[in-house]
Amino acid sequence: MTDSAGQARPQGTCRACGGTVMQFLELGRQPLSDRFLSQPEIHQEYFFHLAVGACERCTMVQLMHEVPREQMFHEDYPYYSSGSAAMQKHFVDTARHLLGTEAAGPDPFVVEIGCNDGVMLRTVHEAGVRHLGFEPSGKVAKAARANGVRVRGDFFEESTAREVRASDGPADVVFAANTICHIPDLDSVLQGVDALLGPDGVFVFEDPYLGDILAKTSFDQIYDEHFFLFSARSVRALAASFGFELVDVERLPVHGGEVRYTLAREGTRRPADRVAALIAEEDVGEVATLARLDRFAGDVRRVRDDLRALLERLKVEGRRVVAYGATAKSATVTNFCGIGPDLVSCVYDTTPAKQGRLTPGTHIPVRSADGFSADSADYALLFAWNHADEIMAKEQAFRQAGGAWILYVPQVHVRG
Ligand code: SAH
Ligand code: TYD
Ligand code: ZN
């Protein structure tokens, strides 16, 4: 059986249900997306094979090959969640919402998986509510502790969850943002949640939504850390196989479109009508079909060809092109499209841990965003397109000076 590029369709085993995974998109040899390199490190990069498939049985969309978690999440993991003012606000609002609902009883206990620099738990801490963040990446965990957040520097898994249950008692809420999709071993996560959560507790997690990724051709959401691309249908199936039920879904505008899923123990809550409504919408959009995913793969290759053609034309015309936002997502774009320092001179970014280093695989220099306005580039390729409003608002001088933004979501276009 061949895929949309006419290649034999490789198969794998589903990490959610054990069914057969059919590959639909091949993105080639890729580096670790968050490994920004010093010059000597460019000779010892870790590469893996990035390809995506969908399970025939439970529809879960997932990577065909797994990167060991210690390669990605370690002392120097450079992603700081508080780097965006809009995301800070999103997580203050999220914390207040949890504190006003699921964590509103006497002496509630809130656990977060992947608390990063404390962007969400900080507000829980300030409210004086018992909490614990799991965060295996050393420096970001340290930043959370500096914000007063109580952090356990381990991966969340069944064994560590059981230890917390024994020492701290049951949790009212287990929350995670942009983390559950990072964990191939979902068995261990769900068993850990089962062990830790009280009888009426909820497991709430939000991650990039497959429906939005297909609608926007945002293939840069596919990289080593994003092992799963969830949909309401695949999450409902996952929940059911661990004695949980998907009781609510909420679409979120952050990071290009996400869904917040709420799981409760089976039979404890009546599922909101919007669960069935979102699954019906997915059925109409054929989100879970191989035919739709094959069409997406064709769209992805078209965006790659268009973006390369534009950058090559600008190079011939002698224009200066830079990029903005050294995102993990951009590793997929630059490596899949073959965009190196010959096409994009440098990437501007606010993260000190990325500045002065080179982008993974393609070795484009990363510079402090403070230098962007003095650069007088003709074009800026917006890798952090999910933060477009925030970035364009603070970099208005760029367009006033005649600069133009290049975007590739939902298709390649220039905003002058
Ligand atoms: N919640 C934050 C951070 C997302 S980045 C936000 O939404 O912005 C994902 C984080 O999860 C990283 O900080 C990483 O170190 C952490 N992580 C990865 N695997 C984990 C696991 N098994 N348990 C707990 N945290 C994990
Ligand atoms: P983000 O898109 O949040 O995530 P990922 O790395 O998972 O794709 O990353 C945003 C990057 O853009 C991060 O390195 C910080 C940077 N950034 C800026 O340089 N300026 C800004 O105004 C914002 C909001 C982000
Ligand atoms: Zn499956």
Domain that holds residue 140: 81-291
Under DSSP, is residue 318 helix (H, G, I), strand (E, B) or coil? coil
Q: How far apart are alpha carbons 280 and 277 in whole angstroms?
A: 5
Nearest residue (CA) to ligand 1, atom 11: 114
| Any domain includes 180 | yes
- Residue 85: CB atoms within 10 A of its CB come to 12
Find the 117 Cα to ligand 3 centroid distance in Å: 33
402 sits in the region (left: phi over 0; alpha: psi -120 to 50; else beta) called left
CA–centroid distance, residue 185 to ligand 3 (Å): 13
For residue 5, what pLDDT band results from cuts at 50, 70 and 90? confident
Count helices and strands in the chain by DSSP H and E runs: 14, 18
How would DSSP label each residue in 216-251?
HT-GGG-STT--EEB-HHHHHHHHHTTTEEEEEEEE
For residue 288, what pLDDT band results from cuts at 50, 70 and 90?
Answer: confident
Indicate which ligand has the atom closest to the C-alpha of 158.
Answer: 1
Nearest CA to ligand 1 atom 13: 116
The whole-number pLDDT of residue 2 equals 86
Q: How confident is the model at residue 311 (pLDDT cuts 50, 70, 90)?
A: very high
CB of 81 sitting under 6 A from ligand 1 = yes
pLDDT at 3: 85
Q: Is 89 exposed, middle or buried (0-12, 13-18, 19+ CB in 10 A)?
A: exposed
Instruction: Give percent of the chain above pLDDT 90.
Output: 98
Ligand 1 in reach of 182 Cβ (< 6 A): yes
Of how many residues is the chain composed? Answer: 416
Count structural domains, the chain. 1
Atom of ligand 2 nearest to the CA of 178: 7
In-domain check, residue 188: yes
- How would residue 7 be classed by pLDDT, with cut points 50, 70 and 90? confident
Question: From CA 144, how far away is CA 122, in angstroms rounded?
Answer: 8
If you measure from the C-alpha of residue 115 to the centroid of ligand 1, how many angstroms do you get, rounded to a whole number?
Answer: 6
Ligand 2 residue neighbourhood (C-beta within 6 Å) = 79, 83-84, 325-329, 349-351, 354, 369, 384, 386-387, 390-391
* Ligand 1 atom having least distance to the Cα of 134: 24
Distance in Å, CA 178 to ligand 1 centroid: 7
Alpha carbon of 338 to ligand 1 centroid (Å): 29
Residue 306 Cα to ligand 1 midpoint, Å, equals: 33
The per-residue pLDDT for 399 is: 97
CB 111 within 8 A of CB 196: yes
pLDDT band at 231, cuts 50/70/90? Answer: very high
Instruction: Kindly report, residue by residue over 95-151, the tens digit of the pLDDT.
Output: 999 999 999 999 999 999 999 999 999 999 999 999 999 999 999 999 999 999 999
pLDDT value of position 206? 99
3-17, 96-110, 288-302: range with lowest mean pLDDT = 3-17
Using the Cα atoms of residue 90, residue 387, residue 115 and residue 180 in order, give the sign of their dihedral: positive
Residue type, 142: K
Residue position matching structure tokens 């978690």:
69
Indicate whether 263 belongs to any domain.
yes
Could you give the angle at the alpha carbon of 288 between the alpha carbons of 286 and 294, nearest 5°? 80
Residue with the nearest Cα to atom 19 of ligand 2?
349
**254 in any annotated domain:** yes
Asked if pLDDT for residue 279 goes beyond 80, the answer is: yes
Q: Which ligand is nearest to the CA of 176?
A: 1
- Asked whether residue 400 is domain-assigned, the answer is no
Please report whether residue 65 resides in a domain: no
Task: Provide the β-strand partners of residue 11.
Answer: 22
Tokens linked to 368: 């402090």
Write down the pLDDT at residue 339. Answer: 98
Locate the ligand 2 atom nearest the alpha carbon of residue 324 and give its number.
19
pLDDT at residue 373 in the model: 95
Q: Residue 207's pLDDT is what?
A: 99
Please give the full DSSP string across 94-161, using - where no structure is assigned. HHHHHHHTTT-SSS-EEEEES-TTTTTHHHHHHTT-EEEEE---HHHHHHHHHTT--EE-S---HHHH
Query: Which ligand gives the minimal distance to the CA of 34?
Result: 2
Average pLDDT over residues 354-378: 97
State the ligand closest to the CA atom of 183: 1
160 CB within 6 A, ligand 1: no
pLDDT confidence tier of residue 8, bands split at 50, 70 and 90? confident
Residue 1 has pLDDT above 90, yes or no: no
167: domain CATH number is 3.40.50.150
| Among protein residues, the one whose CA lies closest to atom 4 of ligand 1 | 178
What is the average per-residue pLDDT within 326-340?
98
At 175, phi and psi to the nearest 5?
-120, 150
Residue 92 falls within a domain, yes or no? yes
What is the tens place of the pLDDT at every residue in 20-63? Answer: 999 999 999 999 999 999 999 999 999 999 999 999 999 999 99
Lowest mean pLDDT among 4-13, 245-254, 288-297: 4-13
Distance 18 CA to ligand 3 centre (A): 6
| In-domain check, residue 239 | yes
Considering only the C-alpha atoms of the chain, give the largest distance between any 2 of them, rounded to a whole number of Å: 66
pLDDT at residue 185 above 90?
A: yes
CA atoms within 13 A on the CB side of 46: 13
pLDDT the model gives residue 142: 98
- Mean pLDDT of the chain, nearest integer: 97
Ligand nearest to the CA of 13: 3
